[in-house]
A and B are shown apart, each in its own frame.
Chain A
Amino acid sequence: MVGITSFGAFVPRYRLSRMTVFMNMGWFNPVTMGVAQGEKAVANFDEDSITMAVSASLDCLKGRDRSQIDALYLASTSLPYRERQNAGIVATALDLKPGIRTADLTDCTKAGTSAMLAGLDNVKANGGNVLVASADCRLGRMGSLQEQVYGDAGAAVLLGSENVIAEFQGAYSLTYDFVDHYRSEDMQFDRSWEDRWVREQGYGQIIGEAVMGFLKKTKLPLDGFNKVIFNCPFTREHQAIAKKGKIAPDRLQANLFEQIGDAGAAQPLVMLAAALETSKPGDKLLLVGYGNGADALAFEVTPEIEKVRDRKGVKGHLAKRADLTAYTKYCVFRNLLPVDVQIRGEIEPPTSVTALWRNRRAVMAYVGSKCKKCGTPAYPPQAVCPNPKCKSMDEMEAYPFADKKGTIFSYTADMLAASIDPPAIYGIVDFEGGGRASIDFTDCTLEDVKVGLPVELSFRRKFVDHVRGISGYFWKAVPIVK
């Protein structure tokens, strides 16, 4: 049996009300009122598609032995690097073994489902376990329809042949050079064609054609599916497409437009994760990924689903939210408006990739050291044991901290430190089992932070080196506020 063996999702904490966007930019483009419902999920200033893919993967890999992962496919249309494999960064952050196959699948919003198909083929051909991670963080111009529609999120699925939670039933793919939107080499923003055409000829035609092709190929009946999962950010069109296929509203998976928005390549996987969260053994799911054609995939949920109920998933992340009340803050976070970082903020020491390579497990996977003689763990990794009674030299083994529970030992909120989101909140965290680190905090306010509060670690962008065009990634502590 081949299929999904685990899943996870990530929705960034900040939500931007579409009415807030409209109040700021509606003067310029009044027709955006038509989509100004609900809110969109917005990546924090220290998040991008890579960090959100890591966060979703961590949710998916909870309790799993990561040494058993044989391949990682990363799907996104907004990957930070054009050359330097983004999947390789995700694999390093997850501390996967180096002996794995990785690939970035990108350039269209069906890349998420295409990555799943590639992963399923891989499992069928080679066995093993394939992690498919997806995330998108797309930009619309200020005042555009895309600005309102696009939302940021990630999702991940683990594919394999043991303990399958949703068995793969078959697939059908369709490819058209349907240019509803595009972004070429030098463009920062997507350029979209008239949305009436996109709705009718794009979503309206192509999704239906992919489903028909799938049904014909697999000879499965459409009314046999408990949930049909496809995205169309235009909610009325989404429902109209379902109606045309005689899919009752309770069998149509919600598009999450009013909670997240359109998370591009990740959206079908986010919606699949949401469907899996409420599914029962025996449920049949039809998943369609749309974009320059479409992929249709079918799954049947197994009793193993009961063993992965502890995922934070879409539901858990939607519950953990904070309003991004200022539209300008969103614009500054996404680098849409220049902000005065002052002279301190302009200082960018050179980024050394040799140092990064040497320290890759410490920096990217938050792996410290543990003394083989006395068991003292420490971060960053030490050569000499810091235990005053031990001080053994070169007797260390790798000790991962990223999954350890931490508590706040001390903290501050620093207005002097250069930050795009002042004050810079940081502190010292003590880890369960030993070890202590001075670390930046994120996804919190000063009011949230207290000595003794638990934290969990999250992979984030630490700095952007504008001069050399490279970002530094690292881990931050997220206070767990009840």
Chain B
Amino acid sequence: MADGIKDKVAIVGMGCTTFGERWDKGPEDLMVESFKEALQDSGVDPKDIGAAWLGTCFEEIGVGKSAIPLSATLKLPFTPVSRVENFCASGTEAFRGAVYAVASGACKIALAMGVEKLKDIGYGGLPDFGAAMGTRARLISANMTAPGGFAMMATRYFAKYGLTPEQGKTAMAKISVKSHKNGAKNPKAHLRREVTVEQVLNAPVIAWPLGLFDCCGVSDGSACALVTTPEIAKSLRKDPVLVKALQIAGTSGEELATQSWDGAHVETTVQASRRAYAEAGIKNPREEISMMEVHDCFSITELATYEDLGISERGKAPNDINDGFYELTGKIPCQPDGGLKCFGHPIGASGLRMIYEMYKQLQGKAGERQIKNPRYGLTHNLGGFPASSVCSVAIVGL
């Protein structure tokens, strides 16, 4: 195995906007807002940024194509800039570009910026995928939306583990209730109201068996990170956060093209997390991971992710949920900032928003959500559908 990225790159500053229906802010405004916070947080001078990556997914309704909107908006002085896109994993993809640039020695300081302006489309949910999946997909793909694509994993999970719809929906509901509880404590979160299991179960169905509260917020927002070498980082601040692992796995196409996949898990999460644990030197994630932000685009995704990350046993995530294992007060708090569920999900920004929460927690700046003495924070950012996905897993620590 290659050396890996462990301890080679440090996060020296981060910024994250309030997520939500930011009717009065365009994507450019949102980028400036998070960038300003990151500059203040790090003390970095923009002219010292050697390269920048922009992660955004639906550029058609946001900033537009290319990385020009990033450099032109922030007035970066002819800095090398690239736009990356990997569906909902675009934010972590931007982070990966910046981290690898520093690790390679190509530049001393790099910027990863994620932004998405979703609330300019005039309807609920994500923008229509009709044209986003390619020309052939228009001719042959099912009439699928994001909730529907993930709902199929829920019907499959229920069938595989013999859960009645009531049992399955209740397990998922508890995940959402937990995230709402955390989100209510977060001033930057999109959805800040606590909900009950009954409310979740009685909400209108979006894509059976997923109801409204099984779905994450669709939000506008931006988050960014400034990364540099550990040495420079230490010269700028006393508490930089180190990248311990940064892995990504794309589908081999087997899930949908053969009958080997069970439909009740996401194989790219399994693959990316195992590589990330190896890279970070983690032997037993259930014991060693202190906290995590996972890609809870839907409650079922979070449920399957507990198992895919090797933290809950196969088919046993509902037990851990019942035991409060993933609560803020539990063994591994999951979604301490409210997650995609309540912090919100501006696609390109989400991966960086997850890292932002881990960063703040590791620095002890998470306010009333603060987790005691965290060591390793894991983020999990999933793009595509369970049947055809790309997954990023990052592990950060002091």
Interface residues of A (CB under 8 A from B): 342-344, 347-349, 351-352, 355-356, 359, 362-363, 376, 378-380, 382, 386-388, 409-419, 423-424, 426-428, 430, 434-440, 446, 451-452, 462-463, 472, 474
Chain B residues near A419 (CB-CB < 8 A): 143
| CB atoms of A347 and B130 under 8 A apart | yes
The residue in A376, A419, A438 that gathers the most chain B C-beta atoms within 10 A of its C-beta is: A438
Which of A362, A382, A424, A435 makes the CB contact (< 8 A) with B143? A424
Q: Is the CB of B155 within 8 A of A410?
A: yes
Is A386 a contact of B254 with CB atoms below 8 Å? yes
A466 to B221 CA separation, bound complex (whole angstroms): 34
Question: Does the CB pair A414–B144 fall under 8 Å?
Answer: yes
Contact assessment for A348 and B140 in the assembled complex, using a CB-CB cutoff below 8 Å: no
Q: Is B314 interfacial (CB 8 A cutoff)? A: no
What separation, in Å, do the CA atoms of A68 and B243 have in the docked complex? 66
Q: What's the nearest-Cβ distance from chain A to residue B110, in Å? A: 35
How near does chain A come to B69, taking the closest CB pair, in angstroms?
23
**Roughly how many angstroms separate A17 CA and B202 CA in the complex, as a whole number?**
35
Which of A347, A435, A436 is close to B128, meaning CB atoms less than 8 Å apart? Answer: A347
Hey, which chain A residues are within 8 Å of B143, CB to CB? 414, 417-419, 424, 426, 440
Residue B257 lies at the interface, judged by CB distance under 8 Å to chain A = yes
Selected from A349, A378, A414, the residue in CB contact (under 8 A) with B257 is: A378
Asked if A412 contacts B253 (CB within 8 A), the reply is no
User: A437's closest neighbor in chain B, by CB?
Assistant: B256
Q: List 8 A-B contacts (CB under 8 A).
A: A347-B130, A355-B138, A359-B136, A382-B257, A386-B253, A410-B159, A414-B147, A416-B148
- Complex Cα distance, B136 from A355, in Å, reads 7
Question: Would you call B108 an interface residue if the criterion is a C-beta within 8 Å of the partner chain's C-beta atoms?
Answer: no
Q: Which of A386, A409, A474 contacts B140 (CB 8 A)?
A: A474
Chain A residues within 8 Å of B1, by CB: none
CA distance A435 to B256 in the complex (A): 8
A416–B207 CB distance below 8 A: yes
Partner of A386, one of B124, B159, B257: B257
Question: CB < 8 Å: which of B145, B252, B254, B258 contacts A416?
Answer: B145
Contacts of B145 in A (CB 8 A): 414, 416-417
B151 to A378, Cβ gap below 8 A?
no
- Contact indicator per residue, chain B 122-137, by CB within 8 Å of chain A (1) or not (0): 1111001011000110
* A-contact 0/1 string along B95-112, CB 8 Å cutoff: 000000000000000000
Closest to A425 in B: B208
The one of A410, A413, A415, A430 in contact with B259, judged by C-beta atoms closer than 8 angstroms, is A430
- Residue in chain B with minimal CB distance to A462: B139
Q: Which residues of B contact A (CB under 8 A)?
A: 121-125, 128, 130-131, 135-136, 138-145, 147-148, 151-156, 159, 204-210, 252-254, 256-259, 263, 387
* Cross-chain contact A451 with B159 (CB below 8 angstroms): yes
| A452 & B252 in contact (Cβ 8 Å cutoff) | no
19 more CB-based (< 8 A) A-B contacts, given A343-B123, A386-B252, A409-B156: A342-B123, A347-B128, A349-B138, A359-B136, A380-B140, A386-B258, A388-B252, A410-B159, A410-B263, A411-B155, A412-B147, A412-B208, A414-B148, A414-B207, A415-B205, A423-B207, A428-B256, A440-B142, A472-B139
Q: Is the beta-carbon distance between B205 and A428 smaller than 8 angstroms?
A: no
State whether A417 and B156 are in contact (beta carbons under 8 Å apart), knowing that A386-B253, A439-B142 are contacts in the complex.
no
CB-based contact B156/A356 at 8 Å: no
The answer to whether B128 touches A418 (Cβ under 8 A) is yes
Instruction: List residues of chain A with CB within 8 A of the CB of B208.
Output: 412-414, 423, 446
**Residues of B with C-beta under 8 A to A387:** 258
Bound form: Cα–Cα A418–B207 in Å: 12
**Inter-subunit contact B148/A434 (CB<8 Å):** no
Q: With the chains together, A415 CA to B206 CA distance in Å?
A: 5
| CB neighbours of A386 from chain B (8 A) | 252-254, 257-258
Tell me the bound Cα distance from A417 to B242 in angstroms.
42
Partner of A352, one of B125, B135, B209, B256: B135
B139: chain A residues at CB < 8 Å are 355-356, 359, 363, 462, 472, 474
Q: In the assembled complex, which residues on chain B have CB atoms less than 8 Å from the CB atom of A363?
A: 139-140
CB contacts (< 8 Å) of B136 on chain A: these are 355, 359, 380
Q: Please, how many angstroms separate the alpha-carbon atoms of A462 and B121 in the complex?
A: 24
Docked Cα-Cα span, A347 to B122, in Å, equals 12
- How far does the alpha carbon of A363 sit from the alpha carbon of B121 in the complex, in Å? 31
With CB as the reference atom, state the residue of chain A lying closest to B157.
A410
Tell me which residues across on chain A come within 8 A of B124, comparing CB atoms.
416
Contact B128 A410 (CB under 8 A): no
**Contact of B152 with A410 in the complex, beta carbons under 8 Å:** yes
Is B135 a contact partner of A355 (Cβ separation < 8 A)?
yes
Q: Chain A contacts of B207 at CB under 8 A?
A: 412-417, 423
